[in-house]
Amino acid sequence: MEQYTIKIKLLTPIWTGDADRKNTTLRETGIIGSLRWWYEALIRGLGGTACDPTNTNCNGDNHCDACELFGCTGWARKFKLETSFNYTYTIPEVWIGTREKRNNRYLKRKVDGFMSDGSIVLTFIPLKDISKNEWILLNSTFKVIEDYGAIGAHISQGSGVIKIVEDNLPYQNEKCRQLYKSKNSLASLDKFFFYKFKLKFKEDISKLINNKSFWTHTQEDNQFKDNWDNWRKLWENYDFLPIAFHIRDSLRHLENDKNKRHDIFGELGKGSKVFVSHGYKIDTKTVEFRIWGYEIDSYLLSPIKNNLESNLKQKLFSDGEDLLKNCVLKEEKSGNKLLEELK
Ligand SMILES: [Zn+2]
């Protein structure tokens, strides 16, 4: 059978490990799982059916549009995915401490994942006939991920921003069809928002790292050990700045209601409806980052945009010094607008 490839470059580390935090190799299942999540959101946004794979009635011939391509019990996935790459590196360890104590102690959160030497080739090997419409949906899924989202796990905590270097999948420039089926209440692209920000510092980022200017932990946590050499490596070798936790911190207190906050941000990033990327390099003083999410009350969206700069000034740096030149909203898109463009 014919094979089709898509080549990607990682802008922030990718995480494809499993729940017990093992991420020892780039796993196809991790990529497929994430692709499926976005594909489902796209299908629901277009009015099609996509079950919740963790709680599904799909079985055999009786299945939703997402299971049609990705498979379910009694119906095999229509393709096999293989990955190839020169070399992947587990990124050097960088930890960020929590600002407040949880259960009487400070916790540490790890910035983690792989970066690769050169690009990663994803090869799709069809095992059954993949319809034209499914290729279009798959291409559109990659487009959404590349332009506004991220791929793999831990994408609410910075991982998985990619650039598509070369796309050889069929039907790349064709539009998605509106689908007409019953809807369910799961993550649907029409309920998403997407923001891209440009963050410019007053000094070169290498200098800020050398000066230990970024916030990593509260001074009260005397157990915490910094790893500035590794910050330097992430920036100099991998072109990204590990600030997803700082950005999340800047967003958390926009919602005062604790229950709502847990619903939106999850517990330590699990089940989060808000996703944030690390900063990937634009130039020596500037990074870009993404914030996106779904089913967020509209009253929270304008504070995300308008208060972000002042919140970041407070959360990014260790001693309250203002080293931020500005934080500019570069692009915003509603899920509905994005769907219109894909249709
Ligand atoms: Zn299904």
Element (H, E) at 324: strand 324-334
Taking the C-alpha atoms of residue 42 and residue 323, their distance in angstroms, rounded to an integer, is: 39
Q: Whole domain around residue 79: which residue ranges?
A: 4-188
Residues 150 and 223 in one domain: no
- Alpha carbon of 62 to ligand 1 centroid (Å): 9
- Of 167, 188, 209, which marks where a domain is finished? 188
Helix, strand, or coil (residue 308): helix
Residues 242 and 112 in one domain: no
Residues 247 and 326 in one domain: yes
- Of 150, 173, 188, which marks where a domain is finished? 188
Tokens encoding 59: 């079985």
pLDDT digits (tens, 9 = 90+) for 208-228: 999 999 999 998 998 899 999
Residue 53: give its domain's CATH number. Answer: 3.30.70
- Alpha carbon of 51 to ligand 1 centroid (Å): 4
Beta bridge partners of 75: 72
pLDDT digits (tens, 9 = 90+) for 55-85: 899 999 999 999 999 999 999 999 999 999 8
Alpha helices by DSSP H, listed for the chain, are 28-45, 65-70, 132-148, 205-210, 228-238, 244-252, 258-265, 298-315, 335-342
Total Cβ atoms within 10 A of residue 298: 7
- Of 157, 172, 188, which marks where a domain is finished? 188
Spatial contact of 21 and 154, defined as CB atoms under 8 Å apart: no
Residues 171 and 219 in one domain: no
Residues 52 and 120 in one domain: yes
- Alpha carbon of 66 to ligand 1 centroid (Å): 6
Would you give the end-to-end CA distance of the chain in angstroms? 29
Tokens encoding 165: 């270097």
Residues 289 and 274 in one domain: yes
- Alpha carbon of 283 to ligand 1 centroid (Å): 44
Tokens encoding 95: 């930890």
How confident is the chain (343 residues) per 10-residue block, as mean pLDDT?
Answer: 93 81 77 96 93 91 95 96 89 91 87 90 97 96 98 93 97 86 76 97 98 94 93 97 96 84 78 94 98 91 91 91 94 96 94
Number of structural domains (the chain) is 2
Residues 175 and 30 in one domain: yes
- Alpha carbon of 50 to ligand 1 centroid (Å): 5
